[in-house]
């Protein structure tokens, strides 16, 4: 056990991390930026292991008061049809919609028509965890310093289909490799805010999706940098680890029950748009892997849930990333487990740095007083990248490093077994 909640911090990285240039012309690299962004990790000593940290998330908390306005987007993918919702952080308002999560209202058509801008404010695009949404406390803690009390960032959250009181309008739900909605939103943001540097962050399942997206885009990724927090990386390993212990099965049961409730809340749409056996899902699903067996395999055509896990995992995607990328993981995370972290892949890619803490649980990192430590390295890293680093110079580094790539072999890290076009 770490002494009185003081967690050990470690870094995994390539021998020669990505070279970066500061705006003043001085040289640095990705590892140095990350190390400067990560403060000591002093957690609540009463929550002295990953289970206690993770279970404490069930304690009712208010969290930072983030206000949103929602826009419903029509999907432009020929296979992944329907709609998805995006919640944009806005100034406090009094017209919250009771049908949406707290402090959230819809944009009017007139309001959204005026959203475009030519400014250079940094913009963060966030993805939440399994069955969550923009209202999640771990997410609000992470973005609050960027937008409250004079924060200079614009932030939006892409809600997974059916989550955060969004509607299900097609037979295709979300899964761990469903990168199409975030891709459409990033492309829309690039056109709508042509001068803004765009950054991405994902949490848990959203971290897996964000990692897959950045890997799929490779050197053409429109994002300037990205962060993955509590990424399960290798879904098959993580799933088998959950099934191996009593507490692991408890977590799997909680997540399976949450997903079953999500299906239940969209019963009419599920019966209308999908081929899912609604009654079987409600009567036979207890654990998360059972949900994936009844829903993901049927929706997407995978023969088994393990085939889905192998195909949707983001561990290989690490090798294809060509933008500055920070992964943040707790080694005692009981859900995104230590065994699933692709340490060797991260050490092969100069664009990626992994920061680990010996404690923290799953998206927890609770400090004394209720704060969440993960907000500090996240915001420090984003602010350093946005204000200190010459972002235009990163493009030149990409071109130079790609020509000297150690990955120029027959291995294709983003080759998938389930063939679904990116667009």
Residues with active-site annotation: 204, 333, 362
Burial of 318 (0-12, 13-18, 19+ CB in 10 A): buried
Q: Which residue's entry shows tokens 């991260």? A: 346
- Check: CB of residue 222 under 8 Å from CB of residue 167: no
CA distances 175 to 149, 302, 339, 415, Å, are 35, 12, 22, 17
Residue 157: strand pairing partners: 87, 126
- The tokens for 272 are 């209308």
Q: How far apart are CA 11 and CA 353, in angstroms?
A: 7
Q: What angle do CA 166, 171, 176 make, to 5 degrees?
A: 70
CA distances 272 to 168, 179, 240, 267, 282, Å, are 10, 24, 33, 9, 17
Q: What angle do CA 348, 350, 352 make, to 5 degrees?
A: 90
Q: Which residue's entry shows tokens 């003081």? A: 6
Q: Which DSSP state fits 219?
A: G
- Check: CB of residue 376 under 8 Å from CB of residue 41: no
- The tokens for 44 are 């609540």
Question: Which runs of E-coded beta strand occur in 167-249?
Answer: 198-203, 225-229
Q: How far apart are CA 268 and CA 273, in angstroms?
A: 9
DSSP state letters, 1-45: --GGGEE-EEEEE-SSPPEEEBTTS-EEEHHHHHHHH---EE--T
CA distances 183 to 228, 234, 420, Å, are 16, 22, 14
DSSP state letters, 58-80: GS-------EEEEEEEEP--SSS
């Amino acid at each position: 056990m770490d002494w009185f909640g003081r967690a050990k911090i470690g870094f995994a990285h390539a021998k020669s991390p990505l070279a970066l240039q500061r705006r003043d012309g001085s040289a640095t690299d990705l590892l140095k930026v990350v190390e400067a962004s990560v403060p000591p990790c002093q957690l609540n000593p009463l929550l002295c292991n990953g289970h206690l940290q993770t279970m404490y998330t069930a304690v009712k908390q208010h969290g930072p008061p983030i206000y949103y306005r929602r826009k419903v987007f029509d999907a432009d993918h020929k296979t992944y049809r329907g709609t998805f919702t995006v919640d944009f952080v806005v100034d406090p308002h009094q017209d919250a919609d009771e049908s949406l999560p707290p402090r959230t209202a819809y944009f009017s058509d007139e309001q959204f028509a005026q959203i475009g801008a030519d400014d250079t404010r940094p913009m963060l695009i966030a993805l939440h965890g399994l069955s969550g949404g923009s209202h999640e406390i771990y997410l609000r803690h992470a973005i609050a310093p960027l937008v409250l009390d004079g924060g200079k960032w614009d932030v939006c959250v892409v809600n997974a289909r059916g989550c955060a009181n969004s509607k299900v309008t097609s037979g295709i739900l979300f899964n761990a490799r469903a990168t199409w909605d975030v891709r459409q939103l990033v492309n829309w943001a690039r056109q709508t805010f042509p001068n803004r540097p765009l950054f991405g962050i994902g949490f848990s399942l959203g971290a897996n999706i964000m990692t897959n997206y950045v890997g799929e885009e490779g050197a053409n990724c429109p994002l300037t940098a990205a962060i993955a927090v509590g990424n399960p990386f290798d879904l098959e390993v993580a799933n088998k680890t959950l099934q191996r212990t009593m507490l692991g099965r408890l977590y799997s049961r909680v997540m399976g029950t949450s997903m079953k409730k999500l299906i239940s809340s969209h019963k009419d749409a599920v019966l209308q748009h999908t081929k899912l056996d609604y009654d079987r899902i409600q009567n036979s699903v207890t654990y998360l892997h059972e949900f994936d067996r009844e829903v993901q395999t049927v929706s997407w055509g995978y023969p088994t849930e393990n085939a889905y896990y192998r195909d949707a995992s983001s561990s290989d995607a690490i090798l294809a990333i060509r933008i500055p990328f920070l992964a943040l993981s707790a080694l005692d995370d009981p859900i995104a487990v230590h065994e699933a972290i692709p340490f060797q892949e991260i050490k092969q890619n100069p664009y990626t740095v992994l920061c680990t803490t010996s404690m923290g649980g799953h998206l927890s990192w609770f400090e004394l007083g209720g704060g969440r430590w993960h907000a500090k390295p996240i915001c420090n890293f984003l602010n350093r990248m946005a204000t200190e680093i010459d972002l235009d110079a990163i493009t030149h580094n990409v071109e130079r490093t790609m020509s000297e790539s150690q990955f120029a072999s027959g291995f294709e890290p983003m080759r998938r077994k389930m063939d679904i076009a990116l667009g």
